[in-house]
Structure 1
Amino acid sequence: MVDDMRPISAQLKTLIVDDEPLAIERLQLLCARQEHINLVGTASDGEAAIRLTEQLEPDLLLLDIAMPGMDGLEVAKKLSRFQKAPAIIFVTAFDKFAVEAFGVAAIDYLLKPVETERLSIAVARVRERYSEQQIAPAEDSPWAEEFWVPYRSELRRIAASEINRIEAERDYMRLHVAGDAGNDASGTSYLLHQTITGLEGRLNPEQFIRLHRSHLVRRDWIGSLRHDGGGIWMACLKCGTEIRIGRTHLAEAKKLAGR
């Protein structure tokens, strides 16, 4: 977690952590092209990363995940307890750690080989986070505010507030994000490998409601409730989609209408 008392400067003191010398060399070259990065050191394992962080107090770690011994996720967990905890950008060859990365509050998650433009975006996010926390330190929340989802050749950050509805597809959840026209057709959907019960437990119940065993919907995305006869109720969404309300979830759904 980024320490809210750490001042933002023109450059971020940055530490590279990777067990592959060629990966470190590539990141050094990329960092040299970033005007807001001041590279202060490199580490080839988790123990060295902890030790150098204590000594150098970097603002940012470019941190590999799959390392022998202490992996990057464990490093991030240990660093989060530091009084001046650095921001974390994970740099990895694997996309399977995205959920775990979210759990340790990483600022971004870059897939190797990292492109200069993509690193610039990640660094800008770190600077923005520091600036926001100087103005108003964020309160800890038990609910997920964002998700990392695979999209083409990258992992994309999706804010929970952008999600309109979620439907289960076997072992995956499809997150529907509305487009400019405010409907699913003009928007985009993303697949996230997680159970719907697990995802429901991470979402703020004041913002999302379970309507069916396979559907979660943002509360303000529900336009009306319609009785279809035979005890069947449907939720009519603002995008035009209709979702059947499961019987076990009907009582909670009716509370939306004060019934």
Structure 2
Amino acid sequence: MNVLIVDDEPLARSRLIRLLAHDKSIVVQGEASNGNEALILAKKQTPDLIFLDVDMPGMNGLQVANELNSLILPPAIVFITAHPEHAFDALQLSAAGYLVKPISEQSLQKVLKQVGRLNKVHIQKQQNVKISYQLAGTLRSVDIKDVLYFSAEEKYTKMVFLTGEALLEQSLKQLELLYPAYVLRIHRNTLVNKKRVIALHSQGSSHHMIELKGSRELLPVSRRELKAVKSAL
């Protein structure tokens, strides 16, 4: 299970990391010290679970959770607070649980068991995400896991998948907002399914291509997007 820890107190983050280290099935992907950092990392890393402090300066944990819940595939959230009265607000935001500081190993293990059960449902949702499109007046759909890439085609967006292609009305920007866990921009005209990326090939210092599982086509990576692509890989 991939985890993101969000807390404005460095010592609190360190303590939680030490406690989580006892569970070999958990990978701490990153840390954030405020709400804005949390949202950026969550969209980039798509963690399964976020430990989220409620009381932070600026954007607090409840506001962050509200933003996260608007994603197509929101992560499970466990709130961390020094004030138990926040528990009701946490449950109103469909939190997987909450922990009261100072966090004990016993309370952490209890909430992890609860999250583990919820995470199975989350994984099932990930496997069933579909994109709808029109073909000859008929509404059809394709599993997003079978999509290779999207490319801008004048007023439309071409979606290329394992068994064919289709035109969508959504723009590349809209697709980025709708499916942040799946798409990766490699060019101003191209998004790829990052779950299908096999390798980044370099031909000289200024020519880079993406190889996708299930496709013989190598797609060009723009110089502008190269840093973000390397970071995502």
**TM-score, L = length of structure 2:** 0.51
What is the RMSD computed on CA atoms of the aligned residues?
Answer: 1.7
Distance 1:18 1:103, change over 3 A: same
Structure with the largest fraction of helix: 2
Distance 1:84 1:135, change over 3 A: closer
Q: 1:125 to 1:52 in 2, by over 3 A?
A: same
Structure 1 unpaired stretches of 5+: 1-11, 138-259
- Counterparts of residues 42-53 of structure 1 (less than 5 Å): 42-53=31-42
Counterpart in the other structure of 2:211: none
* SS of the residue 1:96 aligns to: helix
Larger-Rg structure = 1
How many pairs does the alignment contain?
126
Asked if 1 retains the 8 angstrom alpha-carbon contact of 2:5 and 2:32, the reply is: yes
**C-alpha displacement of 1:131:** 2.2
Q: How does 1:88-237 map to 2 (within 5 A)?
A: 88-132=77-121
1:146-186: CA deviation from partner (whole Å, max 9, x where unpaired): xxxxxxxxxxxxxxxxxxxxxxxxxxxxxxxxxxxxxxxxx
SS at 1:97 equivalent: helix
Match of 2:67 in 1: 78
Contact 2:48–2:119 under 8 Å retained in 1: no
Rate the CA distance shift 1:136–1:14 in 2: closer, same or farther, 3 A.
closer
Bigger mean CA offset, 124-133 vs 22-31: 124-133
Cα offset for 1:37? 1.4
Q: CA deviation at 1:36?
A: 2.7
How many Å separate the matches in 2 of 1:94 and 1:37? Answer: 26
Separation of aligned partners in 2, 1:13 and 1:73: 21
Identity of aligned residues (%): 39
With the length of structure 1 as denominator, give the TM-score of the two structures: 0.46
Equivalent residue number for residue 129 of structure 2: none
Tell me whether 1:29 sits opposite 2:34 in the alignment.
no
Tell me, what secondary structure is at the counterpart of 2:85?
Answer: coil
CA distance in 2, matches of 1:136, 1:62: 21
Matched, 1:62 2:51: yes
Residues 47, 75 of structure 2: 8 Å contact kept: yes
Question: Deviation at 1:70?
Answer: 0.3
